[in-house]
Amino acid sequence: MGSGRRSREVVGRAERLRGAAAGVVAAWGAAVGAVVEAHGRIFWGLVRGELEGIPVERLKEVTEGRLQTGVLAGAGYRTVAQVCGASAQELVRIPGIGGSTAQQLVGAARQIAEAVEQSTAVRIDPARPDGDSTELLIALHRLVVAGPGARRAADEARELEAVLAAPLGAAGPACGWVRGLVAGAGRREEARRAVELLEEKVGAAEADGAPLRFAQAGADLLRPGAGEVEVWVEFEHRAAEFYAELALLVEEGRVGGVERGASEGHLPDALAELVRAERLDDAGCTVSLRGYQAFGARFALARKRVMIGDEMGLGKTVQALAVLAHLAAAGERHFLVVCPASVLVNWQRETASRTRLGAYRYHGPEREDARGKWLAEGGVLVATYESLRTLPEDPVAALVVDEAHFVKNPAALRTRLVAEWAGRTERVLFLTGTPMENRVEEFRTLIGHLQPELLAELPTGLGVAGSVAFRRAVAPAYLRRNQQDVLTELPDVVRVDEWDELSGPDRAAYAAAVAEGNFMAMRRAAYAEPAHSAKLRRLRELVAEAAESGHKVVVFSYFREVLGTVGEALGDVVAGTISGAMAAEARQELVDEFTAVDGHAVLLCQIQAGGLGLNLQAANVVVLCEPQLKPTLEDQAVARAQRMGQIRRVRVHRLLATDSLDRGLVERLRGKAELFDSYARRSDLAESAPEAVDVSDRALAVRIVEDEQLRLAAAE
């Protein structure tokens, strides 16, 4: 083959590849543009509505009272929206407003508008399927169906277009002797080098399968749009995927949404910049990562030994899997996940459905066979805390410890075993939504497993140090985001404390338990006489209300005896009971059956079991039979329903008795919740007193029993 013919063949291949790349970029741009346009109609309508509800007098607050707004009101400007829609030139025509004042008014209005924009989120309500929401779902559905592969293909195509553009422009003189003769020797040499570069780049892209990826992405992005009924049905079942695509566009700045600091856990600027610069290869993931999830994975990669303490429902599992997939793409083969038995099945499922990694369970009689396959084939070995006692010290590239607050006690065997594994593993990732429950010192223990050098910067009296100093010190090892900051699409949680008086039989059972000093019996006394139980009566009413609306209900209690009583009272609507004694596989099967029920159903859960590692978003009514000793235990349980993908408002009903320990317990636990907020969440609360830091469950129980004994004695 002559050099000219060969050059033409190479250039032809390059042009065809660039054409395919350009097609994918155009198709992706059109698909994203449709989402941006549909989202904009809803978003800016919400912003305008909010600004129209803000009186013009609020502009004084922005300028600390320096602006007089009475003249504006007299001229017909009643709301901030009206001022935002005006220019300084228009305002200066109003008698009494000069040029400087007009500029200040426009600036103040714009400042309020920006704050509204940052706090406004588009929520799609299946109960109100209006035309704008339908158009947005149709546009998003195209991206959901195309999947993360289309986004990656578009990024790859964009880069390839840029790489091929210059050499294609320079290769012309090498494609024919006439053009080469006219071009001159210098340009002929430049053209020859351009053809060589094109042959190298095109050959590499073809060998890597780029043409096939472009063809697949183009077909997915250009398929006919879904119908109205289809997209609403799809949204009901795949809401998390729809919102994930929308959230990515928010992170990219294509559509309005929350400010970046919230999604980055408000880390110090220098640290956040370091994390953003960390490369993340998510090609091994089969789902799209939200921006805050990608940031969490980058945080773990950049810092190597960290704890992600995101609130329940934000996808800590997928962030950890993204880290493992990245390491696998870099050539690492063996990873270990340690978790409670209750979430072991969930880790297997998530690994298989969200990554291309193999998942093996080191648990039960076949655990050694599973370990052998893992050693031979690579992937993720999922082990329980207990099984670490028999797991050989095989080298792993990364250790993930789920529900890491289980290793907060330095004296416990499982803590020592995890510490040994962490000590010999370069990369360690702790996951927990509850890093501290009663004692801030327990948080120090977890940080000590990861980056012990940070402990020197943390004074022993953390209550005195205060939350701001604490979070600043642990930032290199700890990242936390809250639902309200990053999952702005979630419907609200409505919490209702259902106060009632104990019935006569309830009071008798309660008084007997108080006299015995039996704290647990005091907590169960409201259900001792089912036929006369005030709490049980209210529970039946709540379930009946949910049944009328076709809602699913999950009922939590600390006590199996209480759940047994509730089950007998509710009858056939109960799908089953999850207890701590139930095997992890059986728990997941029961949740699957509950989710599959068409319409109303009730699931009973022992809160220690049902509040951990299960996805209960099929339910949007939660009933707590009694207040818990740890506020985080209640939060975990509620978060199993209020999590990514939930599209209905979650109603939480806590059953309480006025003339019992419930009142004092609720008041005391409010202080514990505030302590957690101060240290584990981002918060500007005042510094906590040292004596509030250490309140054990046992001490709390003793104090409440004594208080109730005194109260009842005084009432006699």
Q: Which of 102, 119, 136 is the last residue of a domain?
A: 119
| pLDDT score, position 429 | 97
Do 147 and 109 have their domain in common?
no
pLDDT digits (tens, 9 = 90+) for 306-340: 999 887 668 899 999 999 999 999 999 999 999 98
Q: What is the rounded CA–CA span in Å between residue 194 and residue 210? A: 21
**Highest mean pLDDT range out of 4-18, 358-372, 494-508, 701-715?**
358-372
Kindly state the average pLDDT of the residues 604-633: 77
Q: What is the rounded CA–CA span in Å between residue 644 and residue 227? A: 25
| pLDDT score, position 245 | 84
| pLDDT score, position 179 | 57
Do 313 and 462 have their domain in common?
yes
Give first-to-last CA distance, the chain, whole Å: 110
**In this structure, is residue 25 part of a structural domain?**
yes
Rg for the chain, CA atoms, rounded: 30
pLDDT digits (tens, 9 = 90+) for 477-492: 999 887 667 766 655 5
User: pLDDT-based confidence at 643, cuts 50/70/90?
Assistant: low
Residue 64 DSSP label = T
Residue whose C-alpha is closest to residue 613's, from 375, 345, 286, 416? 345
Count other Cβ atoms within 10 Å, centred on residue 566: 25
Do 168 and 107 have their domain in common?
no
**Domain harbouring 418, CATH code:** 3.40.50.10810
Percent over 70 (pLDDT), the chain: 84
Q: Which of 75, 98, 119 is the last residue of a domain?
A: 119
pLDDT digits (tens, 9 = 90+) for 545-568: 888 878 889 899 999 999 999 999
Q: Say which residue, 232 or 263, is predicted with more confidence.
A: 232
Residues 6+ apart with CB under 8 A from 218: 20, 23, 24, 27
Q: What residues pair up with 404 in beta bridges, in sequence order? A: none
How many residues are listed for the chain in this entry? 716
Residue 437 has pLDDT above 60, yes or no: no
Q: What is the rounded CA–CA span in Å between residue 406 and residue 435? A: 9
Sheet of strand 552-557, all strands in order from the earlier edge strand to the far edge: 493-500, 650-657, 621-624, 552-557, 601-606, 574-578
Distances (CA, A) of 35 to 28, 38, 47, 215, 247: 11, 5, 18, 22, 12
Report phi then psi at 500, rounded to 5: -150, 165
Do 430 and 291 have their domain in common?
yes
| Torsion angle of C-alpha atoms 330, 333, 338, 341, degrees rounded to 10 | 120
The tally of domains found in the chain comes to: 4
Is 603 in contact with 553 (CB distance < 8 Å)? yes
User: pLDDT-based confidence at 122, cuts 50/70/90?
Assistant: confident
**In this structure, is residue 434 part of a structural domain?**
yes
User: pLDDT-based confidence at 260, cuts 50/70/90?
Assistant: low
Tokens for 634?
A: 């209640």
Do 565 and 628 have their domain in common?
yes
Do 9 and 68 have their domain in common?
no
Residues 6+ apart with CB under 8 A from 653: 496, 498, 542, 621, 622, 623, 624
pLDDT digits (tens, 9 = 90+) for 213-243: 999 999 999 988 888 888 888 887 777 788 8
| pLDDT score, position 298 | 95
Do 470 and 435 have their domain in common?
yes
Q: What is the rounded CA–CA span in Å between residue 418 and residue 649? A: 39
| pLDDT score, position 684 | 30
Q: Say which residue, 26 or 709, is predicted with more confidence.
A: 26
| pLDDT score, position 30 | 92
**In this structure, is residue 227 part of a structural domain?**
yes
**In this structure, is residue 684 part of a structural domain?**
yes
Paired sense of beta strands 574-578 and 601-606, if any: parallel
Do 603 and 551 have their domain in common?
yes
Query: Strand, helix or coil at 505?
Result: helix
pLDDT digits (tens, 9 = 90+) for 83-112: 888 888 888 888 878 888 888 888 888 888
| pLDDT score, position 387 | 92
Kindly state the average pLDDT of the residues 599-612: 79
User: pLDDT-based confidence at 118, cuts 50/70/90?
Assistant: confident
Residue 145 has pLDDT above 60, yes or no: yes
Distances (CA, A) of 643 to 54, 545, 635, 650: 31, 23, 12, 10
Tokens for 18?
A: 């660039």
Domain coverage including residue 54: 50-119
**Domain harbouring 79, CATH code:** 1.10.150.20
Do 445 and 518 have their domain in common?
no
Q: What is the rounded CA–CA span in Å between residue 394 and residue 374? A: 11
| Least confident interval from 115-124, 286-295, 479-488 | 479-488
| pLDDT score, position 238 | 78
Is 583 in contact with 647 (CB distance < 8 Å)? no
| pLDDT score, position 335 | 97
Tokens for 166?
A: 């210059």
Residue whose C-alpha is closest to residue 380's, from 362, 364, 358, 395? 358
Kindly state the average pLDDT of the residues 407-425: 91
Residues 6+ apart with CB under 8 A from 355: 284, 285, 286, 321, 324, 325
Is 661 in contact with 523 (CB distance < 8 Å)? yes
**In this structure, is residue 412 part of a structural domain?**
yes
